[in-house]
Amino acid sequence: MEFTHYRSCNLCEAMCGLQIEVKNGSIQGFKGDPKDSFSRGHICPKGPELKSLYEDPDRIKFPLKRTESGWEEVSWVSVLSEIATKIVNIQSKYGNDSVGIYNGNPTVHNYGSMLFGQRFVSRIKTKNNFSATSVDQLPHQLLSYLMFGHQLLIPIPDIDRTQFFLILGGNPFASNGSLMSVPDVKKRLKSIQDRGGKYIVVDPRKTETAEHANEHIFIKPGTDVFFLLSIVHVIFKEKLTKPNPLVKEADLISIQSLVNEFDPETVSKITGIPKETIQRIALEFATAPSAVCYGRVGVSTQEFGALCQWLINTINTITGNLDKEGGAMFTLPAVDLVGEGSVIRSSPGSFNTYQSRVRKLPEFNDELPVSALAEEILTEGEGQIRCLVTSAGNPVLSTPNGKRLENALSSLDLMISFDFYLNETTKHAHYILPPTSALEHDHYDLIFNVFAIRNTARYNEPLFPPKEGMLHDWEIFTDLTKRIELKRSGKDLPEELIRTKLTPANIIDHALKSGPYGAKQNPDLQMSLELLKNSPHGVDLGPLKRSFPERLYTDDKKIQLFPNHLEKDLPRLKEKFQKHLVANQSLYPFLLIGRRHLRNNNSWMHNLPKLMSGKPRCTMMIHPDDANQLGIKNEEEVIVASKVGQLTIPIEITEELMKGVVSIPHGFGHNRTGTNQKVASQFSGVSINDLTDDQNLDEFSGNAAFSGVQVKIMKIKN
Ligand SMILES: Nc1nc2c(c(=O)[nH]1)N[C@H]1C(S)=C(S)[C@@H](COP(=O)(O)OP(=O)(O)OC[C@H]3O[C@@H](n4cnc5c(=O)[nH]c(N)nc54)[C@H](O)[C@@H]3O)O[C@H]1N2
Ligand SMILES: Nc1nc2c(c(=O)[nH]1)N[C@H]1C(S)=C(S)[C@@H](COP(=O)(O)OP(=O)(O)OC[C@H]3O[C@@H](n4cnc5c(=O)[nH]c(N)nc54)[C@H](O)[C@@H]3O)O[C@H]1N2
Ligand code: SF4
Ligand SMILES: [Mo]
């Protein structure tokens, strides 16, 4: 039998439409779906590898239990009963907080896991709830909460209509965009240039994106906050602010007085950006017909990540580009997670309502910063984590000071991992609960439609039925959650799986029908699951539209341009500013940053052979002058050391990097024993997070600060 299957790729944020040719039960062809109006036929090399993931012989399909003689395959019911019993016992003996949870990045790419995983988290009732948010976009969510009243009201660059796009710390050519779901980003950036606009990249590395930009500006890692303050300084000084009825005069006055001391001349000494450039960029931005400033991983994960996001929102607002075509806009997705009355409205957010036990780090949205995870396991006392549940995450490789976390994990009384790979994290588990892979389940993109540059909707059925006895993430969560509840109330645990009539698709159907494009709001379209099932290429809902003040959720219905909590972080900012101005010799003279590659996806797709071909990717990039000074040659192995650890890595000499800066990709380090990813271990590389420090944080938000880690480099003597 031959047929064509359409689905949207869930590997990264871009949500590309895929067209898959299937013959006699096997995939014969894979390409971009040209009829998908959002992705327009675009795909990257990772999309087709959903097939390799499906076929990967190392992929775990049935539950595993660690025994003295190794991993043993066990039945779902026995394993889920054992886990439920142990969790209930641990919580009744040591309290709810003795169970910790970590949700990794693929959770948000899997709507079943999101919907039912959240239920599980809420039933566990622990303060020790962590996720990849605090090594990523926490500052964005925090500032949206503080400024606009909802953590998911993230301003999205209106890339298809803007005339001036200022990108800081993002490399969409490699990442395909982030908090800006934008398939086909290369063409979209090129179109800005074709229509007479420009895009500018501010980055310590001349990236693939910067290579094609109208202008690339090198910046010293970790100093973006000063660059942004200085941009605001110029905008005020030149009286280029535009009035906005949603902005309070008092806030503008506070900001103007804050930015006063950050003049381009002083700031240029810190950032390495000439004062004329700062001045010019500010003027060009403020006077462009439309403009948008956007900062991503490189600026979110730095010492002042939250202030950076605040300033980015501020620049867009005071130049009249917030909630305006061609500026930073807000989405109206078919399943709305923001609007009041939405069926699955996400919490608007919460901040610092409690703190972590050991270091007193602030909560955001009922989560604590993952940089605190290791110490919460290792520090004895009431509330110590004794059991950890990880789901779709690999924190040993993805969170700072991975070695310390590794030690912590091996000391747990109980660890459970929802994952289909035996990797650097899950190898520490006592139980591995493997879900189906993407092609075996249905898909609706709950999250990335909220961050997309256009409103669209798409639902796809599974391509292959899972093997008999395999379960989806949401089915595992459903059973385990219920089994824990039964155990808590002293009831017998059933001998069969606990199923529910409620499926992720039912929930979505309800949300689509009652949402902004459902029959009531949009009688012409009448959005529903049925409609999406009959629209295999997706439904286009048009470009982003203005949405304020209706979708502004602050108490006074104004933009909080100078939010309350911000004041507390200003002494730290000013102290750092003064420190920067006093040049000092460091024992660790280089600043380390990360990077992404089109063919990697965080830590977890290194076991797919086609993605690993080509030049070795886990190298440390360094500028030729720095290499010369150290007397090291291209591809030579060197020792890199930070305050927390050291590793050995071959160097790649390139003028792409700013002098004094080195770059290592994250997600490698598959040289640990006890894993089972045969391809990945051949291309093991080393983990940058064995150098990053769990004590280095953006203290305001609690986000990890990966950008600009101080390191020294040593030649290996032979
Ligand atoms: N191919 C691929 N795609 C991915 C992923 C992947 O691993 N591989 N991961 C996905 C995920 S989880 C995310 S969150 C997104 C991230 O998407 P992006 O934010 O686009 O991620 P990066 O490519 O890491 O870009 C970060 C950039 O910040 C720069 N940078 C580092 N430090 C600084 C600094 O101090 N200041 C400035 N201005 N720049 C700095 C780096 O040089 C780099 O170019 O990508 C997603 N897409
Ligand atoms: N130094 C440095 N560190 C970084 C970054 C950086 O730029 N620099 N980037 C950070 C960012 S932005 C992110 S998002 C994090 C990512 O950090 P994590 O989310 O912790 O790590 P991933 O590598 O994405 O690991 C995902 C895991 O989920 C599993 N998995 C994949 N799909 C599914 C599924 O459908 N269900 C289940 N149950 N499991 C699945 C994979 O096998 C893998 O084990 O890393 C962060 N770490
Ligand atoms: S760009 Fe992202 S969504 Fe598109 S095919 Fe590649 S991995 Fe999939
Ligand atoms: Mo991420």
Mean pLDDT value across residues 215-232: 98
Residues 82 and 119: their CA atoms lie apart, in Å, by 20
Please report the pLDDT score of residue 420 as a whole number.
98
The per-residue pLDDT for 717 is 85
Does ligand 2 come within 6 angstroms of the Cβ of 473? yes
**Token pair belonging to 137:** 């976009």
Q: Tell me the pLDDT band of 718, cut-offs 50, 70 and 90.
A: confident
Q: 602 in ligand 2 pocket by Cβ < 6 Å?
A: yes
Binding site membership of 130 for ligand 2 (Cβ less than 6 Å): no
pLDDT reading at 149 higher than 80: yes
Please list the alpha-helical segments (H only) found in 528-569: 529-533
Which ligand minimizes its atom distance to the CA of 297?
1
The number of the ligand nearest the C-alpha atom of 47 reads: 3
Residue type, 222: G
pLDDT of residue 6: 98
pLDDT of residue 584: 76
Best residue among 178, 205, 311, 709 to mutate for probing ligand 1's pocket (most ligand atoms within 8 Å of CB) is: 178
Nearest CA to ligand 3 atom 1: 44
Which two tokens mark 353?
Answer: 């309502």
Task: For domain 139-332+551-570, say whether CATH 3.50.50.60 is its number.
Answer: no
Please tell me the distance between residue 103's alpha carbon and the centre of ligand 2 in angstroms.
9
Is ligand 2 within 6 A of the CB of residue 398? yes
**Token couple for 349:** 């957010």
Taking CA atoms, 221 is separated from 169, 346, 515, 559, in Å, by 9, 34, 42, 30
- pLDDT at residue 235 above 90? yes
Does 549 sit behind a cis peptide bond, omega within 30 degrees of 0 on the bond before it?
Answer: yes
C-alpha dist (Å) from residue 121 to 477, 583, 672:
10, 47, 30
- Of the candidates 91, 92, 103, the one whose C-alpha atom is nearest the C-alpha of residue 129 is 103
Using the predicted structure, report yes or no on whether residue 228 has a pLDDT greater than 80: yes
Task: Kindly state the helix (H) or strand (E) to which residue 78 belongs, with its residue range.
Answer: helix 76-94
- Mutation pick for ligand 3 pocket among 36, 173, 176, 185 (CB with most ligand atoms within 8 Å): 176
Confirm or reject CATH 2.60.40.1660 for domain 582-715, answering yes or no: no
Q: What is the pLDDT of residue 681?
A: 97
Distance 539 CA to ligand 3 centre (A): 19
Identify each DSSP E strand in 629-696 by its residue range: 637-641, 646-653, 661-663
Atom of ligand 1 at shortest range from CA of 46: 1
Q: What is the pLDDT of residue 317?
A: 98
Ligand 3 proximity of 43 Cβ (cutoff 6 Å): yes
What DSSP string runs through 452-475? Answer: BSEEEE-EE--SSPPPTT-B-HHH
**Do residues 60 and 432 make contact, with C-beta atoms less than 8 angstroms apart?**
yes
State whether the beta carbon of 394 lies less than 6 angstroms from ligand 2: yes
Closest CA to 281 of 162, 166, 155, 172: 166
pTM: 0.98
Whether residue 689 has its Cβ less than 6 Å from ligand 2 = yes
Task: Please tell me the number of the ligand nearest to residue 707's CA.
Answer: 1
The answer to whether the beta carbons of residues 565 and 352 sit under 8 Å apart is: yes
What are 342-389's pLDDT values in tens digits? Answer: 999 999 999 999 999 999 999 999 999 999 999 999 999 999 999 999
3-class secondary-structure state, position 66: strand
User: For residue range 86-142, what is the model confidence (pLDDT) as tens digits?
Assistant: 999 999 999 999 999 999 999 999 999 999 999 999 999 999 999 999 999 999 999
CA 662 to ligand 1 centroid distance, Å: 15
What is the Å distance from ligand 3's center to 443 Cα? 14
Ligand 1 pocket test: pick from 11, 140, 297 the residue with the most ligand atoms within 8 Å of its Cβ: 297
Q: Are 592 and 646 in contact (CB under 8 A)?
A: no
Domain 2-55: assigned CATH number: 3.30.200.210
CA dihedral (323, 324, 330, 336) positive or negative:
positive
Q: 297: CA distance to ligand 4 center in Å? A: 8
Tokens of 714: 């040593």
- Residue with CA at minimum distance from ligand 1 atom 44: 171
pLDDT of residue 583: 75
Ligand nearest to the CA of 30: 3
If you take atom 2 of ligand 3, which residue's CA is the nearest one? Answer: 12
Record the tokens describing residue 29, joined without a space.
């062809």
Domain borders along the chain are 2-55, 139-332+551-570, 582-715
- Check pocket membership of 645 for ligand 2, CB cut-off 6 A: no
Rounded to whole angstroms, the Cα distance separating 653 from 636 reads 10
Q: What is the mean pLDDT of the chain?
A: 97
Ligand nearest to the CA of 605: 2
Q: Which residues pair with 17 in a beta bridge?
A: 8
Which pLDDT belongs to residue 294? 98
Query: How large is the average pLDDT for residues 186-192?
Result: 98
Report the pLDDT value the prediction gives residue 93, as an integer from 0 to 100.
98
CA 193 to CA 190: how far, in whole Å? 5
Residue 559, pLDDT > 80, answer yes
The first and second tokens of residue 307, run together, are: 């202030």
Q: Is 143 in the pocket of ligand 3 (CB under 6 A)?
A: no
Ligand nearest to the CA of 437: 2
pLDDT at residue 516, rounded to an integer: 97
Residue recorded with tokens 């806009």: 329
Mutual orientation of helices 305-318 and 249-259 as an angle, nearest 10°? Answer: 120
| Ligand 2 in reach of 667 Cβ (< 6 A) | yes
Q: Which helix (H) or strand (E) holds 444?
A: strand 443-444
